Amino acid sequence: MTDNAKGLLYATTTASLWGMLAIVLKISLNYFDAYTVVWWRFAMAFTFLLLLLGLKKPGYLKILRKPPLKLLLAGALLGINYIGFMQGVYYTGPAVTQVMIQVGPLTLALTGILFFKERISGLRGAGFMIALSGFAFFYYQQLQRLGGEPQLLNLGVFWILIGAWAWSGYAVLNKILVRTVPSAQINLILYGVPALLYVPLADFSRLMEVNSWEEIVLLLFMGGNTLAAYGALSMALKYTEANKVSMIITVNPVITFFLMEVLIWAEVSWFDVPPVNLLSYLGGLLVLVGALLAIGVVKGSLFKKGRGKKI
């Protein structure tokens, strides 16, 4: 398998996991608060990777002594991304969060243009305009659904935007670091830093009370999703260009929309699943199409230099 094919496969894995995650996070809020969920996801992923590397590649643990400053910053940004996404799901629901979080990949593409002198074509410019129109149209449709009560929607969108911008900063730093630092070492710090940051905010007494299979399955899935999705993302960025990775992960809302429709059809009672009308889907489609156009033709220097070390 070529490096490019490996990268695309890893990116597809990340997109699929993220597509399911938004719904699972919404369900988890029936049992835990947002900060506890975020802490658990990072803590479980860090612990698993720490044990795995300790057994197979103990030399990799040396990075814990003096991790690069850029890596510490990337970990902090990833922690902000997680809580922003989680609060977005809490206040607006999975569908709105998955559409609005696409600000992240668009910001990543814009960063390449503004700071790394990547080429911008007419097609890319049109993509940005289509995406912005889609965001506005989708947001307006959500306001209509709420009947003019925008407080929770605005608060949720604010959190989502914070998370999206933090993710774009993390992605740039990760792409730079993966050239010289093995992905496993990167992920160890990426998981460990937020786990430490959220210790004061997590409700450990609630975790100690877990005794039902539903709660156990949720916790295992959320922690495993973190480990697998971001491990696959780092590998994807290692093997192929960031624009190709961004193209694939940008379409993960399609998976969320499909699963949401299935849950509506099945009349689930796990959480309130507000129906998404046709016009909202149209706005979401404009966002995705615009994002794909804006990201899909990136040919700048930042995202094409080197492939990093192989593990």
Query: Tokens 């507000």 sit at which residue?
Result: 274
Residue of 305, 303, 251 whose CA lies nearest to 109: 303
Contacts for 179 with CB less than 8 Å, ≥ 6 apart = 305, 306, 307, 308, 309
151-191 pLDDT, tens per residue? 888 999 999 999 999 999 998 898 889 889 998 899 899 99
Q: What is the pTM of this model?
A: 0.83
User: What integer pLDDT is reported at residue 46 of this predicted model?
Assistant: 94
User: What integer pLDDT is reported at residue 311 of this predicted model?
Assistant: 31
User: What integer pLDDT is reported at residue 301 of this predicted model?
Assistant: 39
User: What integer pLDDT is reported at residue 174 of this predicted model?
Assistant: 86
118-152 pLDDT, tens per residue? 677 788 788 889 988 988 888 888 887 766 568 88
User: What integer pLDDT is reported at residue 150 of this predicted model?
Assistant: 82
Lowest mean pLDDT of 130-134, 203-207, 266-270, 304-308, name the range. 304-308
User: What integer pLDDT is reported at residue 250 of this predicted model?
Assistant: 75
Measured at the alpha carbon of residue 138, what is the angle toward residues 135 and 144, in degrees to the nearest 5? 140
Query: Tokens 């398998």 sit at which residue?
Result: 1
Mean pLDDT of 15-36: 92
The torsion region of residue 57 among left (phi > 0), alpha (psi -120 to 50) and beta comes to beta
Q: Which helix (H) or strand (E) holds 303?
A: none
With a cut of 60, say whether residue 297 has pLDDT above it: no
> Would you place residue 53 in the very low, low, confident or very high pLDDT band (cuts 50, 70, 90)?
very high
Q: What single-letter DSSP state applies at residue 66?
A: S
Taking the CA of residue 189 as centre, how many other CA atoms within 13 Å lie in the half-sphere pointing to its CB?
29
Residue of higher predicted confidence among 36 and 309 = 36
- Most confidently modeled range among 8-17, 83-92, 235-244: 83-92
Lowest mean pLDDT of 99-108, 246-255, 272-281, name the range. 272-281
3-state per-residue secondary structure call for 7-50: HHHHHHHHHHHHHHHHHHHHHHCCCCCHHHHHHHHHHHHHHHHH
User: What integer pLDDT is reported at residue 33 of this predicted model?
Assistant: 95
Mean pLDDT of 93-103: 89
Residue of higher predicted confidence among 103 and 302 = 103
203-240 pLDDT, tens per residue? 999 999 998 998 999 999 998 898 888 778 778 878 88
Query: Tokens 């590998």 sit at which residue?
Result: 235
